[in-house]
Structure 1
Amino acid sequence: MKLSDLKTAQQVIEERRQDPAFRAEWDRTAFARDVALRIVRYRTENNLTQTALARMVGMTQSVIARLESGDQPPSIPTLAKLSKGTGMEFDVKITRGSVEFVAA
């Protein structure tokens, strides 16, 4: 198989979203994935390890690792700690049972 024959991650996800079980799980974890991506981006842009970030925000490395996994959405107090320790902003909209970030 050639590299050019491989599908992109986005193509694979779009195909998998046709499966109702996959789509339900994908949608359920959307907010957690958004938080995870923001944390990873912050760490890499600031050259921080998980441990260094954890110290900055008053958490443990294992909590940062769990947040970065994107499996479970963080609590509001956790987002507040991250914001206080890093200056990251989280504008959140909760509507009809869904949670999402809104443009600041």
Structure 2
Amino acid sequence: MGSNTKQPLAYKVFFTKRCEHRFRKLQASTQKEIGKIIDNLVANPRLGYPLKDPVLKDLYSIHCAEMRIVYKFTDNPAEIELWAIEHRKHVYEELMRYKSATRQVQVC
């Protein structure tokens, strides 16, 4: 008998250039915690919540302690693009600047 179960999508993760730069400036312990969240997103990118601002409507956010990870994803192709990793107090201000950055660096 054959199995009719769907294989989960293997999402590839990309950073925008600004997001990659910000990530590299974080402390190693913070990078590790964010890495765990990213691993969870690879398994299920719908873990975050959609942003409500009309300008940011295609983006999602997930919390990691005092930080926010803002990203968008597509199922076809299965990709997650990280747009911002910032402190919760500054993330949305910074995100408006990041919104125009579209260059990607593959990390996973």
Both structures adopt the same fold (TM-score exceeding 0.5): no
Q: TM-score, normalised by structure 1?
A: 0.30
Higher RCO structure (Cα 8 Å, ≥6 apart): 2
Greater helix fraction, Structure 1 or Structure 2: 1
Whose radius of gyration is greater, 1 or 2?
1
